[in-house]
C-alpha cells in the first residue's frame, strides 16, 4: 500500500485527476450494464433472442415498465385476462409476434409503443382504451387486425404501418391526433362510425377497399396524395372542418353520397378514374375542384352547394354531369367545359343560367339558356308548342341571339328588293315629286334600278310606306304590304332582344 501511495505521489496532478475521471466513468458504465434488463436482444434478423408469450405476460403483470426491442415472441399473447389496467409504460419495438395477439378490453394507462413490430397472426385490440400515446408506426400486420370500439385518448400513430389483410377501425374514437401518414391497407379496411375528434392525417396512404360510413371528422383531416386502388366509400360522413384530398387518385368508384362538408373541401387535382358520386352531398363552404380529372361521370344529383369551383377541370369524351335537383348558390365552371356533358333537366339548366348571371358571365348565361331551349325543342312532340319554339329559335335565338334578328332584317330587305327588281314589280314616276291621280297605266314611268328597288324595300320594311315617286304594280302591291308587316315584326323583335342585352 505504501508503494502504491508513493507511486501516486510521483504522478503529476493533472494526469492524476484525468486517471480518476476515467476510473469513475468506467465504474458507472459497468453499473449501467449490470442494471440492463436481460430481455434486451439483438436484431431478430441476426438471430436475436426469443421469449414466450407467457413470460412476456408475466413481465407485464409485474407492474414494472417494459422497454425491449428486437425480440421474437412465440405463442399467443393474451392480455384480455388482465383484471386491472396496465399502469406502466410498455415499449416493445422492432419485435416479431409469432402467434395471435389479443389485447381486448385492456386499459393502457401509460404509453404503448409497438413501433416496428411484425404481427404474424391475427391481432385484436377490440374495446381497449389507450389513455396515453399509442404508437404503431412501422408496424406490419400480416393477418387480420381489429381495432373495433377502441378508444384513443392521446396521440395514435400508425405512420408507415402496413396492413396486409382485412382490418377494422369501426366505432373507434380518436380523441387525440390520428396519424396514418404513409400507411397502406392491402385488403378491406373500414372506419365505420369512427370519430376523429382532433386532426387526422392519411397523407400518402394507400388503400385497396376502404369504407368511411357515418364517420365523423371533427378536426381537420387530410388525404393529400392518397391512392385508392379499390372502392372508396365516404357515405354519410361528416367533415366538421377542412378536408384535403388534393392530388389523390381514385382508381375505382368513389362514393360521397349524403356526406356533409362544413369547411373547405379541397379536391384540387384529384384524379377520378371511375364515376364520382356526390349525390345528396352538402357543401357548406367552398368545394374546390380546380384542375380535377373525371374519366367518367360526375353525379351531383340532389346536392346542396354553397360554392363549387371547377376551373380547369378535364373530362373524358364520355363523361356526363348530373345536376338534377341540385341546389347551388355559386357554381364556378365555364359553360364550354360542361355544355355537351349535362344530363338534361330543365330546372338544372335554369339554375345554371341564374348562376352565370350572378357571376356576370352574361354570354355564358345566354349560351346555357339557348342550349336549354334547343334541347327542349328537340324533345317536344310536333304541335303548336314545337312550332312556336321553332319560330322563336329562327327569329331571335330564343331571345338571346340579336344576330339572328339582325340577319332576318337584312335578309328580308334584300330578298324583297331582289324580287321587286327582277320581277319588274315597281315603277318610278318620270316627274319625281309629283303624284298624279287616275289610272297609273297612263302615267309615264320607267323601270326602277336595283338601287331604287333596295331603297323601296327599305322604306317598306321600316315605314310600310313607299317613296312618293315609286310604286309597286300588280301583285307586287301585296308583297310590299307583306314586307311592311314583316318589318314591324322584326323591328319590334330587334328592339326587345337588343334591350334585354343592353339593360343587363
**pLDDT tens by residue, 361-403:** 999 999 999 999 999 998 888 888 889 889 899 999 988 889 9
Torsion of CA 90, 96, 99, 100, to 10 degrees: 50
Higher pLDDT, 326 or 48: 326
Coil/strand/helix, residue 418: helix
Is it the case that residue 48 has pLDDT exceeding 70? no
Coil/strand/helix, residue 492: helix
Same domain, 161 and 286: yes
- Least Cα distance to 406 among 471, 470, 465, 494 occurs for 494
Distance, in Å, from the CA atom of 403 to the CA atom of 405, rounded to the nearest integer, reads: 5
Last residue of a domain, one of 295, 329, 360: 360
Give domain status of residue 365, yes or no: no
User: What's the average model confidence in pLDDT over 432-438?
Assistant: 48
Are 256 and 281 within 8 A, CB to CB? yes
Q: Which cell goes with 268?
A: 384540387
Same domain, 52 and 145: yes
Give domain status of residue 35, yes or no: no
Say which range, 27-31, 85-89, 431-435, 459-463, has the weakest mean pLDDT.
27-31
Q: Which cell goes with 484?
A: 311592311
Query: Which residue(s) pair with 332 in the sheet?
Result: 309
Same domain, 106 and 180: yes
Q: Model confidence over 63-104: pLDDT tens digits?
A: 999 999 999 999 999 998 888 899 999 999 999 999 999 999
Is it the case that residue 197 has pLDDT exceeding 50? yes
Q: Is 0.85 topped by the overall pTM?
A: no
Same domain, 320 and 445: no
> Which H helix or E strand runs over 442?
none
Give domain status of residue 55, yes or no: yes
Q: Model confidence over 274-303: pLDDT tens digits?
A: 999 999 999 999 999 999 999 999 999 999
pLDDT at 441: 52
Query: Which residue(s) pair with 195 in the sheet?
Result: 173, 216
Residue-range definition of the domain harbouring residue 408:
402-503
User: What one-character-per-residue DSSP string does 135-147 give?
Assistant: E-TT-EE-S-EE-
Is it the case that residue 7 has pLDDT exceeding 70? no
Torsion of CA 411, 416, 418, 421, to 10 degrees: -160
Give domain status of residue 323, yes or no: yes
User: What's the average model confidence in pLDDT over 109-114?
Assistant: 96
Same domain, 234 and 113: yes
Last residue of a domain, one of 327, 360, 393: 360
Q: How far is CA 10 from the centre of its chain?
A: 83
pLDDT at 432: 47
Same domain, 486 and 347: no
For 446-478, letters b (16+ CB in 10 Å) and e give eebeeebbbbbbbbbbeeeebbebbbbbeebee
Same domain, 328 and 469: no
Say which range, 118-122, 273-277, 354-358, 459-463, has the weakest mean pLDDT.
459-463
Higher pLDDT, 120 or 33: 120
Same domain, 162 and 253: yes
In the block, which residue shows the cell 367518367?
A: 296
pLDDT at 496: 87
Same domain, 327 and 445: no
Query: How much is the mean pLDDT over the chain?
Result: 86
Q: Given pLDDT bands bounded at 50, 70 and 90, which one contains residue 459?
A: confident
Is it the case that residue 22 has pLDDT exceeding 50? no
CA-CA-CA-CA torsion sign (60, 64, 69, 70): negative
Are 199 and 220 within 8 A, CB to CB? yes
- Give how many domains the chain has, as a whole number: 2
Same domain, 205 and 325: yes
Which residues contact residue 406 at a Cβ distance below 8 angstroms, ignoring those fewer than 6 apart?
494
Same domain, 407 and 335: no
Q: Which long-range contacts (CB under 8 A, 24 or more apart) does 368-373 make?
A: 368/335, 368/339, 369/398, 369/400, 370/397, 370/398, 370/400, 370/401, 371/339, 371/342, 372/346, 373/398
Give domain status of residue 308, yes or no: yes
Last residue of a domain, one of 343, 360, 377: 360
Same domain, 165 and 226: yes
Give domain status of residue 24, yes or no: no
Give domain status of residue 379, yes or no: no
pLDDT at 429: 61
Give domain status of residue 310, yes or no: yes
Amino acid at each position: 500500500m505504501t508503494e502504491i501511495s508513493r507511486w501516486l505521489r510521483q504522478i503529476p496532478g493533472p494526469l492524476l485527476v484525468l486517471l480518476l475521471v476515467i476510473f469513475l466513468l468506467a465504474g458507472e458504465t459497468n453499473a449501467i450494464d449490470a442494471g440492463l434488463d436481460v430481455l434486451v436482444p439483438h436484431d431478430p434478423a441476426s438471430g436475436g433472442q426469443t421469449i414466450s408469450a407467457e413470460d412476456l405476460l408475466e413481465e407485464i403483470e409485474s407492474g414494472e415498465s417494459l422497454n425491449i426491442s428486437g425480440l421474437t415472441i412465440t405463442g399467443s399473447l393474451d392480455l384480455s385476462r388482465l383484471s386491472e389496467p396496465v399502469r406502466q409504460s410498455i415499449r416493445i419495438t422492432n419485435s416479431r409476434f409469432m402467434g395471435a395477439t389479443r389485447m381486448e378490453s385492456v386499459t393502457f394507462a401509460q404509453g404503448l409503443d409497438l413501433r416496428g413490430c411484425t404481427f404474424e397472426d391475427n391481432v385484436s385490440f377490440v374495446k381497449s382504451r389507450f389513455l396515453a400515446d399509442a404508437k404503431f408506426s412501422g408496424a406490419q400486420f400480416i393477418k387480420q387486425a381489429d381495432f373495433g370500439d377502441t378508444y384513443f385518448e392521446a396521440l395514435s400513430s400508425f405512420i408507415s404501418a402496413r396492413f396486409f389483410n382485412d382490418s377494422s377501425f369501426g366505432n373507434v374514437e380518436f380523441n387525440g391526433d390520428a396519424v396514418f401518414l404513409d400507411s397502406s391497407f392491402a385488403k378491406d379496411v373500414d372506419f365505420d362510425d369512427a370519430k376523429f375528434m382532433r386532426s387526422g392525417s392519411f397523407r400518402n396512404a394507400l388503400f385497396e377497399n376502404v369504407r368511411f360510413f357515418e364517420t365523423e371528422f371533427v378536426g381537420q383531416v387530410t388525404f393529400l396524395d392518397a391512392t385508392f386502388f379499390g372502392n372508396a366509400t365516404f357515405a354519410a360522413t361528416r367533415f366538421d372542418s377542412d378536408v384535403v384530398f388534393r392530388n389523390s387518385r381514385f382508381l375505382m368508384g368513389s362514393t360521397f353520397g349524403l356526406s356533409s362538408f362544413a369547411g373547405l373541401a379541397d379536391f384540387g387535382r384529384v384524379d377520378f378514374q371511375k364515376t364520382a358520386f356526390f349525390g345528396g352531398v352538402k357543401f357548406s363552404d367552398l368545394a374546390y375542384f380546380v384542375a380535377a380529372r373525371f374519366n367518367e361521370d360526375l353525379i351531383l344529383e340532389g346536392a346542396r352547394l354553397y360554392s363549387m369551383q371547377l376551373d380547369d377541370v378535364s373530362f373524358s369524351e364520355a363523361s356526363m354531369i348530373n345536376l338534377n335537383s341540385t341546389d347551388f348558390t355559386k357554381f364556378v365552371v365555364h359553360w364550354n367545359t360542361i355544355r355537351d356533358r349535362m344530363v338534361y333537366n330543365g330546372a338544372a339548366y335554369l339554375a345554371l343560367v341564374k348562376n352565370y348571371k350572378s357571376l356576370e358571365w352574361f354570354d355564358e348565361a345566354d349560351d346555357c339558356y339557348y342550349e336549354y331551349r334547343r334541347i327542349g325543342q328537340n324533345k317536344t312532340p310536333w304541335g303548336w308548342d314545337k312550332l312556336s319554339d321553332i319560330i322563336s329559335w329562327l327569329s331571335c335565338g330564343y331571345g338571346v341571339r340579336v344576330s339572328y334578328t339582325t340577319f332576318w332584317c337584312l335578309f328580308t330587305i334584300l330578298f324583297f328588293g331582289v324580287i321587286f327588281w327582277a320581277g319588274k314589280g315597281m315603277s318610278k314616276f318620270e316627274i319625281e315629286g309629283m303624284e298624279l291621280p287616275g289610272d297609273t297605266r297612263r302615267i309615264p314611268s320607267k323601270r326602277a334600278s336595283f338601287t331604287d328597288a333596295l331603297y323601296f324595300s327599305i322604306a317598306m320594311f321600316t315605314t310600310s310606306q313607299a317613296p312618293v315617286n315609286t310604286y309597286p304594280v300588280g301583285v307586287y302591291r301585296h308583297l310590299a304590304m307583306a314586307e311592311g308587316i314583316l318589318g314591324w315584326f322584326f323591328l319590334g323583335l330587334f328592339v326587345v332582344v337588343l334591350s334585354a342585352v343592353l339593360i343587363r
